[in-house]
């Protein structure tokens, strides 16, 4: 066969593949997330951005829709769901944080044929919205692990901070902390701070410090977010007495404190993996009908302390943990 004939056949074959690829269905999906001001969602967005490369390579699109803040959380989430549906999204990847607000909107979307993938929070409500799968940690189980760890390491009275009162994932975390701690002889008290000071490091530090000064028997604090543990560290320093510190989620400052011994532990749920998997698996389900045999897919919890902080630091520096 001449090289010219070979080249012509190769060209025709490539063109046929291109036409067949273009004819394949391509998912247009929306990913709904928390506030852009919430540092946790930097890792979520990184996962979505990298997943979008996969989706777009197949001819689809990804629209990232974060809430502005948490002041009007439930209604804002419903607004984003309605926006996604109105824009023609074939699938929505979303955490379920405020079920009483979100479930009716997601059920209405599902009735219109929109595919739902749940991530980060809301595994208990996956079936309620005909969700394909859940990618995330079990917040209650993660809380149990945190409560057990702190109590087994000497804590007797643990303050569990909730930065968005009523958010089901945060409440579940403190429920778990309570169970894990009480099973190991420790007590847990909760500190819900107003949603309008979420991500306000100064106001949160003052609120935690006030609790520490009011109750000298509190000997441990666990926060529901990495940024809040920065505030807790300041509060502990200003209170002027030793208090064990733990948190849910990671950040460079959290790992730095674990390295220098001023923070005991953190609980990682791997938000990058949650959003990356939720986005790519939703698109694959719409495009090709794929499903995973494992449901839910758990990305945590994993305890990070002095024993494994060094290896964890590399993922945090890359923005993926």
In sequence order, what E strands does 61-200 have? Answer: 61-66, 91-94, 115-119, 134-136, 157-162, 187-192
CATH number assigned to the domain with residue range 9-137+270-290, chosen from the 4 options 3.40.50.1370, 1.10.260.30, 3.40.50.2300, 3.40.50.1820: 3.40.50.2300
- Which is higher by pLDDT, 23 or 158? 158
Give the least confident one: 154-163, 292-301, 310-319: 310-319
Rounded Cα gap, residues 315 and 9, in angstroms: 46
**For 229, what's the count of Cα atoms within 13 Å in the CB-facing half-sphere?**
31
Instruction: Provide the CA 219 distance to its chain's centre, in angstroms.
Output: 28
The CA-based angle 284-285-291, given to 5 degrees, is 105
Rounded average pLDDT over 274-280:
98
Mean pLDDT of the chain: 91
Q: Which two tokens stand for residue 70?
A: 């948490």
The CA-based angle 262-40-183, given to 5 degrees, is 55
* pLDDT value at residue 320: 75
- CA distance between the termini of the chain: 54
pLDDT tens by residue, 25-67: 689 999 999 998 888 999 999 999 999 999 999 999 999 999 9
Tell me phi and psi for residue 31, to 5 degrees.
Answer: -115, 115
Task: Find tokens 């028997």 and name the residue.
Answer: 217
pTM over 0.85: no
Query: Is 17's pLDDT higher than 90?
Result: no
Using pLDDT thresholds of 50, 70 and 90, give the confidence band for residue 8: very low
Rounded Cα gap, residues 12 and 108, in angstroms: 46
Residue-range domain boundaries for the chain: 9-137+270-290, 139-268
* pLDDT value at residue 24: 59
- DSSP 8-state class, residue 155: -
Query: Is 237's pLDDT higher than 90?
Result: yes
Instruction: Provide the CA 81 distance to its chain's centre, in angstroms.
Output: 18
Percent pLDDT > 90 in the chain is 83
* pLDDT value at residue 11: 33
Nearest by Cα to 268 from 277, 278, 260, 258: 258
Decide: helix, strand or coil at residue 118: strand
**Neighbour count for residue 19 (Cβ, 10 Å):** 9
Rounded average pLDDT over 151-174:
96
Rounded average pLDDT over 176-191:
98
Fold match between 9-137+270-290 and 139-268?
yes
* pLDDT value at residue 317: 78
**Fold designation for 139-268:** Rossmann fold (3.40.50)
Give the least confident one: 14-23, 99-108, 279-288, 292-301: 14-23
The answer to whether 218 touches 241, Cβ cutoff 8 Å, is: no
């Amino acid at each position: 066969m001449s090289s010219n004939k070979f080249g012509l056949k190769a060209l025709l074959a490539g063109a046929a593949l291109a036409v067949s690829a273009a004819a394949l269905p391509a998912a247009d999906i929306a990913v709904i997330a928390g506030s852009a001001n919430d540092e946790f969602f930097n890792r979520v967005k990184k996962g979505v951005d990298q997943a979008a490369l996969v989706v777009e390579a197949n001819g689809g699109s990804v629209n990232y829709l974060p809430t502005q803040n948490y002041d009007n959380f439930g209604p804002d989430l419903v607004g984003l769901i309605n926006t996604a549906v109105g824009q023609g999204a074939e699938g929505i990847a979303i955490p379920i944080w405020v079920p009483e607000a979100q479930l009716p909107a997601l059920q209405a979307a599902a009735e219109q044929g929109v595919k739902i993938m749940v991530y980060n929070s809301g595994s208990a409500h996956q079936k309620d919205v005909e969700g394909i799968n859940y990618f995330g940690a079990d917040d209650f189980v993660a809380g149990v692990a945190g409560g057990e760890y702190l109590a087994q390491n000497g804590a007797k009275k643990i303050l569990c901070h909730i930065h968005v009162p009523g958010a089901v994932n945060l409440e579940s975390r403190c429920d778990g902390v309570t169970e894990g701690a009480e099973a190991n002889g420790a007590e847990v008290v909760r500190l819900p701070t107003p949603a309008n000071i979420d991500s306000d490091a100064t106001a949160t530090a003052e609120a935690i410090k006030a609790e520490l000064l009011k109750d000298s028997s509190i000997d441990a604090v666990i926060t529901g977010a990495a940024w809040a543990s920065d505030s807790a560290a300041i509060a502990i320093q200003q209170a002027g007495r030793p208090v064990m510190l733990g948190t849910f989620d990671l950040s460079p400052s959290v790992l730095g404190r674990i390295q220098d011994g001023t923070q005991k532990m953190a609980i990682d749920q791997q938000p990058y993996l949650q959003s990356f998997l939720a986005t790519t698996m939703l698109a694959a389900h719409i495009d090709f009908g794929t499903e995973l045999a494992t449901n839910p897919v758990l990305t945590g919890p994993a305890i990070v302390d002095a024993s494994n902080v060094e290896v964890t630091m590399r993922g945090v520096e890359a923005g993926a943990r």
